Each structure stands twice: as structure tokens, then as C-alpha cells.
């Protein structure tokens, strides 16, 4: 049973409390920390490569070691959250990845760096599926897509400030000590989260009866059999995973090779490169926020919520493909960088729709489904830095990588058009029965 705070009698006796918004605050801060810890390696890459004498191909494998682990551990950590609740999982994975963020500064050669970044990625894999699981338990349906938009905006903006933040930190300490400093951020978050969060909002002392009445009846954790066959064979699951593959394949360029692109192709200095490296993530965050605000508004006005989500996905990924192609025609550096940043903005119009689709389609299996989607997406993210590293390393042609990425985006737009983003798996199971 929940403990009312100032509530007496029926849920209607007092206004609902707003404890659920603290879950959004915790999600925002963790998303920012996660992206700082993830993105700092790209800005530090020149220093790391120089210290360890790494080639572009080797650095591509360093970037992708994280993403491979991130992909492989998505389903296990999402399923773990479905079975045991997000609190236990989030505390463990945040402390795990924070340790390996610090450990990045302790490496001594290429092999140790690859292993450390792989173990770091295994921890970060639990973040967004379990935050989405927490949203599913703590937020009414009408508030979910906006919360996803705000959370992903914050994640992108955390990543956007990271290049310049790393530049400033590296101006006062070496890269090894910098990774230790970044690792401490997650430890502070975990302490505060452990004291406040409950898997079941009705057990939280700050949630009164009126707020509890707004929330889903389903408990945050329960024992059930995941319908693996349904997940593997459902067309919407294939499509939502396919579009996220395209999205992540393209997006990983921004947090891996983009600072190097700025230095080598457009000859920016280190300070200018650090400032401009955050521009795609800054505009990407704006795209997340805009989609989170507009999709529910358009749905209330016009209905057809599923169609509106699909249109945002198609326009987002199709528009991103066009922006990348346009960037190859600009010889003026700032115009090319602006076109690339607009590709990120367009890309991120689909992000809140992707994760809210997992919530609506997955239901009580949301952790598992969102983990599956993010796993497939990050297989794309794993391949992207390697493919780009080999294309540029062997041909020196950055434009070719943009054409390949634009083609992947167009396949993602096709997947979005084929998705049914609103019909729950449980409902389709009942219909089949």
C-alpha cells in the first residue's frame, strides 16, 4: 500500500502530488551523465591515440568495443529490469560503468583499452531500457512521450557540452585523471537515487492517493514469462528494431569520428573543433524536445496517433539522409557542419517516438522490448565506426561514408512507414487466442 502525504479519504479529496516528476529528474540527470561518460572518449581520442600510438583502424575498434558490449547486454539488462524492477538494475549498472569510466584512464596499450571500453559498454547497456521501465510504472500514458523527449534532449545536450567540457578538463589535467573525474559523477547519482526511488510508486511516501490513481495499475516488477516467440516474429518489432539500427548507425558518427572529421577535413583548431563537435548533439536534443512536444499535441488535435508517430519517423530519417548528402556539396566548412548538425536534428525527431512505441507495444515487457530495439540499434552503432574507419583509412574519402550512411537512413525511413506503433503485444496475443 502507498503512504498518502496529506491525503484523506478518496483520491479526489486532495490534488495529486507530483512525486512522479522526480523520476523524470533522475532520468534526465542520469542521461546526461551517461552521455558525458560515453562521449568523452571521442574528444580525448587524439590524446589517447598519441599516448598509446594507435592507428585510425585501431581507434575504430576502441569506439566499437563499447558499442558491441552495449548491444549484447541490452536484452539481458532490459529483461532483468522486467523481472526485478529498475531500481536494483540501475544502481548496479551505474556503479559498474562509473568504475570502468575511471579505469579508462588506467590503460597501458590498445588491448587493455579495448577490454576496458567493452566492459564500460556492458554497464551502460542497462540505462535506457530501465529508465523506460521506470517511466512505464511512474507516468500516466499521456505524459510518457513528452518525458522521453525531455530525457533524450537532456542526453543529447549532455553529449553536446562534453567535447568542450573535456577540452577544458584536459587543459588542467591529463586525460588519465580526467576519466577518473568523469567516473565519480555516476557514484554521486547512485547514492541519491538509492535513497529516493521505489519500483512501485504506491510504496513511496511522497505519492498521495490522488497521484496514485493517475498511475498504471500494473506493478513495476512481476514474475512472468516473456513471449519470446511473439517478440521475434511480430512485424512491428522487426520494423522498430530496423529503424533503430539505421538511426544508431548514422548517429555514432557524431560521438566517435566527428571531432576527427573537423580537424582533418576542415582544419579547425582544437578549441573550435571542441565547440563545433557538440553542435549535432545540441540540435539533436532540440529535435527530441520538439517531437516530444508536438506528437501528443497533434494526436490530441487530429487523432491517428500511430500515423503521426510514423510520419515523424519517416520525415526524421528521410530528412537526415538528405542533409548528409547536402553536406558533401558544401566546400565552406561552416555550411557543411551546419548540414551535418541538421541531419542530427532530423534524426532525433524519431527518438521519442521509438521509445514510446516500446512502452505502448511492449506493455509489461517494455524493458525486454526496448532492450531488443537498443541492441539491434547498437549493432549498427558497432559497425559504423569500424566501417567509417576503414573507408577513410583506405580511401581518404569522407564523402563516401556520408553516402553510405544516407542509404542506411532511407532504409530506416521505410521501416518507420511499416511500423504499427500503438497496438500492444498483449492485445495482439489475446486477439490471436
Question: 10 Å Cβ neighbour count for 322?
Answer: 16
Helix (H, G, I), strand (E, B) or coil at 198: coil
Asked whether 379 and 125 are in contact (CB, 8 A), the reply is: no
pLDDT (tens digit per residue) in 131-176: 988 998 898 888 888 898 888 888 888 777 877 788 888 888 888 9
- The candidate with the shortest Cα–Cα distance to 409, out of 352, 331, 326, 332, is 326
- How far the first Cα of the chain sits from its last, in Å, is 34
Cα distance between residue 242 and residue 415, in whole Å: 6
- The candidate with the shortest Cα–Cα distance to 23, out of 186, 148, 108, 169, is 148
Question: 10 Å Cβ neighbour count for 333?
Answer: 15
Asked whether 259 and 274 are in contact (CB, 8 A), the reply is: yes
Reading the chain (433 residues) residue by residue, the pLDDT tens digits are 334 344 444 444 688 899 999 999 999 999 889 888 887 887 788 888 888 988 877 887 888 888 888 888 988 888 888 888 899 999 999 999 999 999 999 999 999 999 999 999 999 988 888 998 899 889 888 888 889 888 888 888 877 787 778 888 888 888 899 999 999 999 999 999 999 999 889 989 998 988 888 887 765 445 566 778 888 888 888 999 999 999 999 888 887 788 788 888 777 776 777 778 778 888 988 998 899 889 888 988 887 778 898 999 999 999 999 999 999 998 888 898 899 999 999 999 998 889 888 888 887 788 888 888 988 988 888 888 888 888 888 888 888 989 999 999 999 999 999 988 888 876 554 444 4
DSSP state of 194: H
The dihedral region occupied by 226, where left means phi > 0, alpha psi between -120 and 50, and beta the remainder, is: beta
DSSP H helical segments within 171-217, as ranges? 175-196, 209-214
Cα distance between residue 133 and residue 143, in whole Å: 14
Q: Tell me the Cα Rg of the chain.
A: 21
CA 56 to chain centre: 25
Most distant CA atoms of the chain, gap in Å: 72
Cα distance between residue 30 and residue 197, in whole Å: 13
Asked whether 388 and 60 are in contact (CB, 8 A), the reply is: yes
Q: Which residues 6+ apart lie within 8 Å of 353 measured at CB?
A: 145, 291, 295, 309, 312, 313, 421
Q: Which three cell numbers stand for residue 228?
A: 519470446
DSSP state of 174: -
Q: Which three cell numbers stand for residue 100?
A: 570502468
pLDDT (tens digit per residue) in 196-247: 999 889 989 998 988 888 887 765 445 566 778 888 888 888 999 999 999 9
Which CATH number describes the domain made up of 16-432?
Answer: 1.20.1250.20
Asked whether 146 and 292 are in contact (CB, 8 A), the reply is: yes
Question: Can you give the length of the chain in residues?
Answer: 433
Please state the domain extents for the chain. 16-432
- The candidate with the shortest Cα–Cα distance to 126, out of 161, 157, 95, is 95
Amino acid at each position: 500500500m502507498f503512504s498518502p502525504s496529506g491525503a484523506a479519504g478518496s483520491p479526489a479529496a486532495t490534488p495529486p502530488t507530483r512525486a512522479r516528476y522526480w523520476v523524470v529528474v533522475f532520468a534526465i540527470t542520469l542521461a546526461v551523465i551517461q552521455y558525458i561518460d560515453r562521449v568523452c572518449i571521442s574528444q580525448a581520442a587524439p590524446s589517447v591515440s598519441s599516448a598509446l600510438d594507435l592507428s585510425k583502424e585501431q581507434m575504430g575498434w576502441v569506439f566499437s568495443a563499447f558499442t558491441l558490449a552495449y548491444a549484447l547486454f541490452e536484452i539481458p539488462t532490459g529483461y532483468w529490469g522486467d523481472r526485478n524492477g529498475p531500481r536494483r538494475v540501475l544502481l548496479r549498472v551505474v556503479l559498474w560503468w562509473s568504475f570502468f569510466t575511471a579505469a579508462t584512464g588506467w590503460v597501458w596499450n590498445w588491448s587493455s583499452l579495448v577490454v576496458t571500453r567493452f566492459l564500460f559498454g556492458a554497464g551502460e547497456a542497462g540505462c535506457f531500457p530501465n529508465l523506460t521501465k521506470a517511466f512505464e510504472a511512474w507516468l500516466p500514458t499521456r505524459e510518457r512521450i513528452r518525458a522521453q523527449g525531455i530525457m533524450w534532449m537532456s542526453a543529447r545536450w549532455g553529449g553536446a557540452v562534453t567535447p568542450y567540457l573535456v577540452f577544458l578538463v584536459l587543459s588542467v589535467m591529463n586525460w588519465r585523471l580526467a576519466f577518473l573525474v568523469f567516473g565519480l559523477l555516476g557514484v554521486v547519482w547512485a547514492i541519491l537515487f538509492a535513497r529516493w526511488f521505489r519500483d512501485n510508486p504506491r510504496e513511496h511516501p511522497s505519492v498521495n492517493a490522488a497521484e496514485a490513481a493517475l498511475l498504471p495499475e500494473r506493478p513495476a516488477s512481476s514474475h512472468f514469462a516473456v513471449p519470446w516467440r511473439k517478440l521475434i516474429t511480430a512485424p512491428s518489432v522487426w520494423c522498430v528494431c530496423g529503424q533503430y539500427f539505421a538511426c544508431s548507425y548514422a548517429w555514432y558518427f557524431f560521438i566517435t569520428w566527428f571531432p576527427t572529421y573537423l580537424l582533418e577535413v576542415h582544419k579547425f583548431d582544437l578549441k573550435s573543433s571542441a565547440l563545433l563537435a557538440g553542435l549535432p548533439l545540441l540540435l539533436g536534443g532540440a529535435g527530441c524536445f520538439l517531437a516530444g512536444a508536438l506528437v501528443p499535441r497533434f494526436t490530441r488535435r487530429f487523432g491517428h496517433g500511430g500515423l503521426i508517430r510514423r510520419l515523424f519517423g519517416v520525415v526524421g530519417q528521410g530528412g537526415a539522409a538528405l542533409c548528409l548528402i547536402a553536406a558533401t556539396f558544401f566546400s565552406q566548412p561552416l555550411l557543411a557542419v551546419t548540414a551535418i548538425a541538421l541531419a542530427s536534428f532530423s534524426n532525433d525527431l524519431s527518438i521519442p517516438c521509438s521509445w514510446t512505441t516500446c512502452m505502448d507495444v511492449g506493455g509489461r515487457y517494455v524493458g525486454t522490448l526496448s532492450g531488443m530495439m537498443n541492441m539491434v540499434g547498437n549493432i549498427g552503432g558497432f559497425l559504423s565506426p569500424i566501417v567509417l574507419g576503414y573507408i577513410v583509412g583506405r580511401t581518404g574519402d569522407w564523402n563516401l561514408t556520408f553516402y553510405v550512411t544516407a542509404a542506411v537512413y532511407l532504409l530506416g525511413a521505410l521501416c518507420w512507414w511499416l511500423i504499427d506503433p500503438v497496438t500492444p503485444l498483449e492485445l495482439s496475443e489475446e486477439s490471436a487466442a
